[in-house]
Amino acid sequence: MSQDNQKWSYAQDYLWKNPGCTGSKQSPINIDTSQLQRCGVLCDLKLYLKPEKPSVEFTSQNDVILSFVSSQSSITFNNRYFNLKSIRIHVPSLHTIDNSKADMEVVCLFDSGSNNESSSNNSLQNVAKGVQLCFMMNQSDNEYGNIEQFFNQFIHKIPTVQDELPIELNVSNTWSPELLIPNKKNFYYYEGSLAYPPCSEMYINIVYEEIGNIGVNNFRTLKKYIRNNTRALKPKNNRIVYYSVDESKSASIQSNSIDRISDNRFLQCEKQNNVVQTNENVTISSTVTEDNRVIQLNTAKKIRDRLLFIIIVLLFFLAYLVILYLYKTYSAQKILSSFVPLNIMRENSDIWKKCSGLEEFVKKNVPEGVVESSMPGYGMGMGMGMGYGMGQNINMRR
């Protein structure tokens, strides 16, 4: 019985009996970005991805596989043609970059076909059995975008029972693996193998540098059924990992020295020229100047706020003195008498006069008989007060 027909699991890949699974160029590997070589013209990748309708299956190894029959999608790698054969979804990612895994990885397998011309050159580019495009992804709150569109059209059609017959998908005319291609097309490239039996080697493995995003809901749905279908990392041995820069963005990269350093990892150790250093000094001095301006503005703002507070306090104090003066001179009461009903004025007239000190002033300085004529309000209040007092005395005597 061949390994393909045997029951196997990713967790026990050391039990895989196929001889190809013990080779020296197995996948996946950890990609150490400090040990890369520039790929240049040896990584000429062109994509010709077209809309088509695949079938989906769910295997006993927890693999979700999209299969294509006579696919019209293809790629060329160094002028060799490879046709799309299948797409596999792995949770978590197969590869790691600087020992960091992503939440998942989608692998598009392109198989070598009859379009390739025979060559006497036995280099990998000429004898490769296929190319695997690998897209690493992390879950995200963003439930939109090309990657979401890619999964939304088939995720609810995946069989829930393992090893059922594949289900043909009725996807839209805009659905294709091109939805997985990131905006930044820098990638790593190394010679590897299939990450599952028969573990055939002599495959070109292309791992895109940019990590994509998959919505949380779609990721949880896949995680629920897939759980874990990732093979353990394999030794790199003496293999070289190449790095290819997206040439379509080379113009924008060259126009900005900062972008050039960040995008092209092979320029990170280059010595900067004097012009760049001068610009840095100008930037530092301008930054210091801006900081001084900020400090001065903050100091002026504090002084202004304190002066404004003092002015407000003085205004309140002056308002208090004015009100107190009007009350003591009985002016405030007269103003209120224009708005307060007469009966309330009569009831409170004596109290206001006593509080304002006006009654003592009248007794000492104003002759009797003049009060009523000169200060009607006071006479009325005094009359009412005396009448009320006499009435009270008569009542008490009775």
pLDDT single digits (tens) 228-252: 999 999 999 999 999 999 876 554 4
For residues 59 and 159, the answer to whether their CB atoms sit within 8 Å is no
Span 114-142, mean pLDDT? Answer: 77
Place 352 in a pLDDT band, splitting at 50, 70 and 90.
low
Residue 249 has a pLDDT of 59
Q: Which two tokens stand for residue 223?
A: 């995680």
3-state helix, strand and coil shares in percent for the chain, rounded to the nearest 5: 45, 20, 35
Would you say the C-alpha torsion 38, 44, 48, 54 has a positive or negative sign? negative
Q: Is the pLDDT of residue 270 over 80?
A: no
pLDDT tens by residue, 356-372: 665 565 566 555 554 44
For residues 73 and 52, the answer to whether their CB atoms sit within 8 Å is yes
Write out the E strands in 118-193. 130-140, 167-168, 187-193
Place 286 in a pLDDT band, splitting at 50, 70 and 90.
very low
Residue 142 has a pLDDT of 85
Q: Which two tokens stand for residue 358?
A: 């006006």
Task: Look up the pTM and report it.
Answer: 0.62
Q: What is the DSSP letter of 127?
A: H
Choice among 47-61, 164-178, 181-195, 334-348 with the minimum mean pLDDT? 334-348
With a CB cutoff of 8 Å and minimum separation 6, the contacts of 29 are 95, 190, 192, 233, 234, 235, 236, 239, 241
Q: Which of 72, 265, 99, 76 is nearest to 187 (CA)?
A: 265
Q: What is the DSSP letter of 52?
A: -
**How many angstroms separate the CA atoms of 29 and 233, rounded?**
5
Q: What is the residue extent of each domain of the chain?
A: 3-267, 275-319, 331-388
Quote the mean pLDDT of the chain: 79
Q: Is the pLDDT of residue 338 over 80?
A: no
Would you say the C-alpha torsion 8, 10, 13, 18 has a positive or negative sign? positive
User: What is each CA distance from 397 to 298, 384, 387, 388, in whole angstroms?
Assistant: 78, 20, 15, 15
Q: Which CATH superfamily is domain 3-267 in?
A: Alpha carbonic anhydrase (3.10.200.10)
Strand partners, 106: 89, 135
For residues 202 and 191, the answer to whether their CB atoms sit within 8 Å is yes
